[in-house]
Structure 1
Amino acid sequence: MKLKDLQKAEFWIATILYAFAIVIIISNTSNRNHDFDYYSFKEAKVNYSFFSNYFIPGIFRISIIYFTFLLLNFCIIPALIQRKNEILNYSLILFCIVFIGLVNGVCTTYTDAYLLVQYDSLQQAYNRIFFSSFSYSIWLIILISSYVCAKAFVIYMLENKDRNTQSQNQMRLDVGLGLAFWLVGMLLWLTTRSPFEIIIIWTLVIFSTIGIIIYSLYYLLPYIYTQGKKFKSFFWQVFFISIFLAVPMSFISMFFFYTRPEGIFIVFLFHLPTQLIISAPLAWYVYKRRLASNNELTSLRTELGKSDASLSFLQSQINPHFLFNALNTLYGTALQENAERTGEGIQKLGDMMRFMLHENVQDEISLTRDVDYLENYISLQKLRTSRSADIVIETQIDEQLSNLKIAPMLLIPFVENAFKHGISLQQPSHIKITLQTKEKTLYFDVHNSIHIKPDNDPEKLKSGIGLANVKQRLALLYPKKHELIVRESAKEFFIHLTIQL
């Protein structure tokens, strides 16, 4: 089910339940004289009005729940999850708590008016009623928000079930460790027969600690690091989050401390120092350790990828097919002409082999040396094809006078691919190679014809030499610093490569 369909279903289910509740309130009109509240009012000798003591308060309470659910489920909590207008939405949550508490408190003074006579004074009765009403509003906000957050978490897990599994497993482990720590403390308090209030304080503080640490590790600290901020900024954000959490924690503690105001002070006394002295430094330390480990692991993987790519590329270059063709070219040349051309070919082949054995293993080499290797290879291929008038090989390679560096063997695969697939001794063929540099940018183009190889050619089904490999090396060595454009038609093949050196 898509998110929009789920939201529509939620809206209509909530609306139908709201309408059904209204209908139930209205239908109880005929039974109001037998209602429990009616007899409770009568025993307390307080006048009972169905309209003011039952109908209107019931409508307000149901409406408050309905509209609060819509506001939190569709507006406030989703915006907070996406980190949009955080101050505004947190303010709206506080407003909802106060508004719901006030409305519910006023409604309770009408629906439970018969209880007012049980207190020593109206002020004491109102204090109790409105305190319970605010506790009710906080629990309502917490329950609805928990539902929305749980729903968002399930949707996130379903959408990302095939990726980020390591991060999700780590988060589950962190939550499990926090709950285990809470459970150990609970067992300690229970075995020592500690007061119930201590257990409540322990539970509230530990749960808020788990929440702050998880939120910091997986949401707050990654955002702070991307913004380049320091621990001071993170510390103050944890401080304000702790203050915000202290409000509902205080109300919850008062409920368990039987409205004694010292409960708020006790919870606040343990909560705020715990978050500032333990949660903030612990989350910062753990995140930095994990970030360093991840960076080290990424670096090792990158280096391993470079090594594998370089090794496989080197292995793909020194192969019997290339050496066999080169030696056959030199042998044919020696039979046709004098020893000068044969010597020239052997010299170029020696330079190429020397380059491959010595400079190819370096991380970076001079662009001039890489271009020399490229030109030696092209010259050897021209020796092989010089007797065919239908083969046109054109090169425009600028002389490299700068001190630019480049990873070795990045350009040659495209040229090899051009000669492998673009030359036919039986059909007209053409290859055009251009290489230019402007400031620190390299521009490299290879344009060649394409000829279908005969069925008995062992390389008919093989791809170009090292093309997949060089794409991998470009992604590793020049991320976001290169552009490779490849175009292919039935008769022509073209590549354009730009690298920021």
Structure 2
Amino acid sequence: MDKHINSKQAANLEFWIAIGSIVVSFIATCIDDFPLRSVLFSHLLTLVLYLVLYFHLAPTVEKNGKTSAGPAFLILALITIATLTGAVPTYMATLLSVKLLLIYFNRNKKVPENLLMYDAILLFAIWMLAISCCWMLAANHAIRTYVFAVPLPMILVYLYAVHGLLPGIWNKKYRLLRYAGVMVVVVPLSIPVMLLMLHLFEQHHFYSGIQLPYTYQINEATISIGMVGNTISQLVIVIPCAWSVYKKRNEHTQAEIYTLKTELGKSDAHLHFLKSQINPHFLFNALNTLYGTALQENAERTGEGIQKLGDMMRLMLQENIQDIIPLTNDLEYLKNYIMLQELRTATSPDISIETRIEEVSQDLQITPMLLIPFVENAFKHGISLRHPSHIKITAQTKGETLYFDVHNSIHLKPDNDPEKGQSGIGLENVKQRLQLLYPGKHELMIRENGKEFFVHLTLQLTTNA
């Protein structure tokens, strides 16, 4: 919580510093007697671009989930065009570049589907920052030519290699040879982009947002700088870097997949173990119940109990091995269990068992044997044949949400009872299963005082679509 508050405060501080910088720049430029219309337009454009970055691109990059890269590339294109044409003052382009870098470093790293957008943001931010620094530091003509004309084709080739070419050939034979062959074709195709940038450099040369009375002319030296710089940069920087970056990312992804498979295997094995524990645990309870019923009454009640147990055994054998079953089946299992317990307690007037299990209107699905441990626990600890006891069980659905409550009295076990001080495996198992199968989709509250025990479970279910 504190981290979230500090992050929000830092964002607000950055926002007002940026707005203040734009306002101060506007006032200072007006004082220098530059044309008011040109100054007003350039600073308003800077303000608009910053606001788009702050209110649209930053939240898009920071939120969870896969996001379309189209709007991000459009914003980057607008900033690039505004910087290259001088519509945004050079020092204001620096502010926009820094904002892009902040957006990149605050990105949501858990969404690998957005890597193309993240890479583009970082590379364009560095390029715009380099252009701004060259102009403000009055770098020589050769450096300005290189920085203006060469990085864009480098960026485009890099993005194609990492996000288009390498993913398609990485698992094929001779991938390095394939990669080299394609890049030999792609690099020459980047030359027209470089020549276009040289043309823009010739036609629209600006310094701090104010056009100079002269322009640089494209000549053999300028073209040579662009051609040699582009070729060497592609071969020495882009091609090996793209290969290295994709290889490293792929190894990291494979390591994550291996870890997830290992954890999934452990969880699956553990889940099967938990299921195997639940079945015999319940069978012992059911047999004890039938044994007590046989001692109290005649064979008619025992037969009824055996029938209920048969229905329950059928569900356990047929459906408990499945991952999910209809909620109606699980609730029917619950009703049979409660009726079986009522046979045992029917002769005790001080025992109150109240159930309200509503009919399910939708075809909801649930993992089997999630609800029964709570009811088992209630009858195990909440019923005494010698003291007043009560159990209340309710189950209802609203939409795709199940609301399940168990409320029972508590009776201390005698000191000579072998189960005294043992909570059993049922509740612990169901807690672990809920964490494994319904992470973030359930709420379990268990409360206990000296006389009563309360369980409230809210569970988000799925339909059989």
TM bracket, shorter-chain basis: 0.5 to 0.7
Equivalent of 1:377 in 316, 337, 352: 337
TM-score using structure 1 length = 0.50
Equivalent of 2:440 in 457, 480, 492: 480
Is there any run of 5+ residues in structure 1 with no aligned partner, and where?
A: 4-73, 100-213
Q: State which structure, 1 or 2, has the greater radius of gyration over its C-alpha atoms.
A: 1
Give the whole-Å Cα distance in 2 for the aligned partners of 1:83 and 1:284. Answer: 36
Contact 2:401 2:458 in 1 (8 A): yes
Deviation at 1:290? 4.8
Contact 1:250 1:268 in 2 (8 A): no
Give the whole-Å Cα distance in 2 for the aligned partners of 1:297 and 1:425. Answer: 52
Three-state SS of the structure 2 residue aligned to 1:222 is: coil
1:395 paired to 2:355 = yes
Q: 1:175 — aligned with what? A: none
Contact 1:333 1:342 in 2 (8 A): yes
Q: 1:71 — aligned with what? A: none
Equivalent of 2:388 in 423, 428, 432: 428
1:491 paired to 2:451 = yes
Deviation at 1:374? 1.0
User: Deviation digits for residues 436-493 of structure 1, max 9, x if unmatched?
Assistant: 2233222211000112222232322222542233223223333333222222211111
Q: 1:222 — aligned with what? A: 109
The within-5 A match list for 1:147-296 is: 219-220=106-107, 222=109, 225=111, 231=116, 235=120, 238-248=123-133, 260-266=140-146, 271-278=151-158, 281=162, 282=242, 290=252, 294=256
Give the whole-Å Cα distance in 2 for the aligned partners of 1:87 and 1:400. Answer: 58
Deviation at 1:500? 2.4
Contact 1:420 1:464 in 2 (8 A): no
> Quick one: structure 1 residues 233 and 301, their matched pair in 2 at CA, closer, same or farther if it must change by over 3 Å?
closer
Equivalent of 1:331 in 274, 287, 291: 291
Give the whole-Å Cα distance in 2 for the aligned partners of 1:325 and 1:485. Answer: 25
Three-state SS of the structure 2 residue aligned to 1:317 is: helix
Give the whole-Å Cα distance in 2 for the aligned partners of 1:484 and 1:354. Answer: 29
User: Deviation digits for residues 39-79 of structure 1, max 9, x if unmatched?
Assistant: xxxxxxxxxxxxxxxxxxxxxxxxxxxxxxxxxxx99xx95
Give the whole-Å Cα distance in 2 for the aligned partners of 1:478 and 1:277. Answer: 44
> Quick one: structure 1 residues 370 and 401, their matched pair in 2 at CA, closer, same or farther if it must change by over 3 Å?
same
> Quick one: structure 1 residues 338 and 411, their matched pair in 2 at CA, closer, same or farther if it must change by over 3 Å?
same
Contact 2:120 2:159 in 1 (8 A): no
Equivalent of 2:404 in 433, 444, 456: 444
Give the whole-Å Cα distance in 2 for the aligned partners of 1:414 and 1:365. Answer: 19
TM-score using structure 2 length = 0.53
Contact 1:313 1:466 in 2 (8 A): no
Q: Percent identity?
A: 50
Give the whole-Å Cα distance in 2 for the aligned partners of 1:339 and 1:397. Answer: 29
Deviation at 1:306? 4.7
Equivalent of 1:317 in 279, 284, 295: 279
Contact 1:365 1:405 in 2 (8 A): yes
Give the whole-Å Cα distance in 2 for the aligned partners of 1:340 and 1:327. Answer: 17
> Quick one: structure 1 residues 440 and 323, their matched pair in 2 at CA, closer, same or farther if it must change by over 3 Å?
closer
Give the whole-Å Cα distance in 2 for the aligned partners of 1:286 and 1:87. Answer: 38
Contact 1:486 1:495 in 2 (8 A): yes
Deviation at 1:342? 1.5
Structure 2 letter corresponding to 1:363: D
Give the whole-Å Cα distance in 2 for the aligned partners of 1:442 and 1:460. Answer: 32
1:308 paired to 2:188 = no
Deviation at 1:331? 3.2
Give the whole-Å Cα distance in 2 for the aligned partners of 1:328 and 1:420. Answer: 11
Deviation at 1:304? 4.1
Structure 2 letter corresponding to 1:308: H
Three-state SS of the structure 1 residue aligned to 2:338 is: helix
Three-state SS of the structure 2 residue aligned to 1:361 is: coil
Q: 2:323 — aligned with what? A: 363
Q: 1:88 — aligned with what? A: 18
Ranked by relative contact order (alpha carbons within 8 Å, sequence separation 6 or more), the top structure is 2
Q: 1:462 — aligned with what? A: 422
Structure 2 letter corresponding to 1:452: L
Deviation at 1:83? 11
Give the whole-Å Cα distance in 2 for the aligned partners of 1:271 and 1:449. Answer: 75
> Quick one: structure 1 residues 313 and 247, their matched pair in 2 at CA, closer, same or farther if it must change by over 3 Å?
same
Contact 2:293 2:301 in 1 (8 A): yes
- List structure 1 runs of 4+ shifted beyond 6 angstroms: 89-92, 214-218, 249-252
Deviation at 1:241? 3.0
Give the whole-Å Cα distance in 1 for the aligned partners of 2:13 and 2:436. Answer: 33
Three-state SS of the structure 1 residue aligned to 2:291 is: helix
> Quick one: structure 1 residues 473 and 309, their matched pair in 2 at CA, closer, same or farther if it must change by over 3 Å?
same
Deviation at 1:360? 1.1
Give the whole-Å Cα distance in 2 for the aligned partners of 1:296 and 1:370. Answer: 35
Deviation at 1:317? 3.5
Is there any run of 5+ residues in structure 2 with no aligned partner, and where?
A: 30-100, 163-241
Structure 2 letter corresponding to 1:277: V
Structure 2 letter corresponding to 1:241: I
Give the whole-Å Cα distance in 2 for the aligned partners of 1:398 and 1:385. Answer: 23
Contact 1:391 1:428 in 2 (8 A): yes
Deviation at 1:432? 0.6
Q: 2:58 — aligned with what? A: none
Deviation at 1:276? 4.2
